[in-house]
Amino acid sequence: MHRLAALVSWVNGLPPRAVDTALAAVAVALVATERLTSTPSLGARLPGALALAVVLGGSLAFRRRAPVVAFAVGTAALAADALWLDPATLSPAINLVGLYSVGREASPRRSLWGPMIMLPGIAAYFVGEGPPQAVVPASVVFIWLLVWGAGYAGARRRERQESERRLLRRTAVTDERARIARELHDLLGHTMSVMLVQTGAARVVLDGDPAKAREILGGVERTGREALDELDRVLGVLRRDEDADLRPGLDALPRLVRRTEDAGMRVRVRVEPERPELPGTLDLSVYRIVQEALTNAFRHGRAASATVAVRCGGQRVEVEVEDDGRGPRPGYQLGRGLLGIAERVALFGGTVEHGRGGMGGFRLRAVLPLPSGGEAA
């Protein structure tokens, strides 16, 4: 059984044209051998019989490129073979392969020619066998139609599978675009907000305290360089998941906190345990959730301080970010940042809550289950 499966796999790997040519050659050889060894000898009719064998068997070489025409030619050769000579034993089987190919390879509309071409061919074959069987048995017609139907059903199944593959590819492209948009929004939104706040602070103190302004501008430069480095990693890794360890995670939180504090907002971070081991995509998502929450805190909430708590244990990771800013307005609508957080959480089947917190500002809490088989260490 293993050798048979290996042989089938090897044949499927061959070019279709080579397979069809080999099949046609085998068919011609089998029918020609039968004619050459037939008893009684065909005598003067032998060259014509061999020519019909070549036409009938050779039609299989075109069974994919021109299935309807190939089957029509093969059926004509079958009818001539049956009416002019004694019908060859293998001729119907060869023609049956052509009928299957019409159902399998032709378009839905053109494949309907298969049964219409089939009927006169079968009738000629049975007439050629003699008066006792001049009527075509219904069982034979049913079997031939069944073979055509098997090819037709296989073709439609193949079309459905191809349609599903195209849909999956389109979905994958759409998901990838959304993923890239999410990554760039989180990265650039945070960085630009920090740099704008720092630049504004430098402008305010430029005349009165040039040294302080230079210090702030140095922070702007450092933030920009770090953002460029991270942008290079994001763009380089978005399509190479095997390099996921290059993407930021919980170990990059201190750098994120420093940039945020350079912008003027104090941040306290607590991670339990201190160095949890999380899958790469989950680690990145936790980092991006914290990054977006802090961005919203000082850009929209005008917060002076914020707390970040990341608790990893059991089969989930809990992320909570709370600030002392202005808090949410009544009936606030979700912006791109909160929508992006919700999408990230949804990818893991988690939950997210947000609203006014105990410090008077905004509070966000997200719970992300660990993927099956994973556990925070």
Q: Exposure pattern of 119-133 as b/e (b: 16+ CB <10 Å)?
A: eebbbbbbbbeeeee
Q: CA angle at residue 225 from 221 to 229, to 5 degrees?
A: 170
Q: Is residue 325 scored above 90 in pLDDT? A: no
**Tens digits of residue pLDDT in 338-361:** 888 888 888 888 899 998 888 888
What confidence tier does 243 reach under pLDDT thresholds 50, 70, 90? Answer: very low
Helix then strand count (H, E) for the chain reads: 11, 5
Domain 222-369 belongs to what topology? Heat Shock Protein 90 (3.30.565)
Q: Is residue 280 scored above 90 in pLDDT? A: no
Report domain extents, the chain: 13-136, 222-369
CB 185, CB 336: distance < 8 Å: yes
CB 192, CB 292: distance < 8 Å: no
Q: If you average pLDDT over each of 158-172, 187-201, 239-253, 274-288, which comes out highest?
A: 274-288
What confidence tier does 85 reach under pLDDT thresholds 50, 70, 90? Answer: confident
Give the range among 179-183, 215-219, 333-337 with minimum mean pLDDT.
179-183
Between 93 and 336, where is the model more confident? 93
